[in-house]
Amino acid sequence: MLRFMPVGDSQTIGSAGEHTWRYRMWQHLRTTYGGPFRIVGPRETLYDKATDAPDSYEYADPDFPRGHLAGWGEGWFHLAPQIAEAVRTQRADVLLVSLGLIDLGFYTDADGTAANARAFISEARSANPRVAMVLLPVIPNVRAHTDAPFAAEVARFNELLAKVAADLDEPRSPLLLTSPPPSYDVHLDTYDGTHPNASGEHKLAAAFADAMHQAWDLGEPYAHGSP
């Protein structure tokens, strides 16, 4: 059984009442992956905006398997020290990673964030030398539209992340860098310029699904019209 673990920040954990891109990915795998799989992770909560805390279980679909390693306001900086234990305890085979925006916004510059990404990869492999990782670049966001220095840091980090993936990729533990979601528009695909709405959730799930299909022949191309 293949065990997928979503890893990310607020765009991945989602907030109370949302489906999240994790849900869209689960729906896609249910219909296109030809074998048994599980969505795993040491956490199950959503972020509850009403209480300003990650303590809600009010998913839009209560039957969704809710495991993940994601947190509102967490980045490579926070999750690199936690990933080895999560991979070990959850027996994760594939990490679907969407990180970087929070790091660049609050904690580290592009070079420091890339260093934390390298540490994350090393720690994950210490727990499972055969773990595969799919890495999403930092996606379009409203701050990058209005803050030119921040936009430059995002662009530089995405370049560095591509170098990290190229440098550290190995056959037994492959690293796959996705393309940014095509046609992603902060005005149409988010509800606040940063966090994905339903359309954005589909596009993030598609970035992961299409990359795995193209590189590893896993599943099928994402059906963008799926509910």
Lowest mean pLDDT, pick from 56-60, 136-140, 149-153: 56-60
Question: Contacts from 188-191 at CB under 8 Å and sequence distance 24+?
Answer: 190/141, 190/142
Residue-wise pLDDT tens digits, 62-90 = 888 999 999 999 999 999 999 999 999 99
In a domain, 226, yes or no: no
In a domain, 224, yes or no: no
In a domain, 94, yes or no: yes
In a domain, 221, yes or no: no
Residue-wise pLDDT tens digits, 30-59 = 999 989 999 999 999 888 877 877 777 788
The per-residue pLDDT for 180 is 87
Structurally, the chain folds into a number of domains equal to 1
In a domain, 48, yes or no: yes
Name the β-bridge partners of 176.
134
Task: Note whether 139 and 102 are within 8 A (CB).
Answer: no
In a domain, 227, yes or no: no
Query: What pTM did the predictor assign?
Result: 0.95
CATH code, domain with 64:
3.40.50.1110
DSSP assignment letter at 171: T
Give the whole-angstrom CA distance, residue 164 versus residue 177.
9
In a domain, 175, yes or no: yes
Say yes or no to pLDDT of 225 above 60: no
Task: Note whether 28 and 216 are within 8 A (CB).
Answer: no
The per-residue pLDDT for 18 is 81
Task: Note whether 42 and 103 are within 8 A (CB).
Answer: no
| Residue range of the domain that includes 22 | 2-216
Going through the chain in order, the beta strands assigned E by DSSP cover 2-8, 37-39, 46-48, 53-56, 69-70, 94-98, 132-136, 175-177
Tokens linked to 93: 């085979």
For the CA atoms of 122, 124, 125, 129, the dihedral, rounded to the nearest 10 degrees, stands at -170
Name the β-bridge partners of 47.
15
- Least Cα distance to 98 among 144, 44, 57, 135 occurs for 135
In a domain, 225, yes or no: no
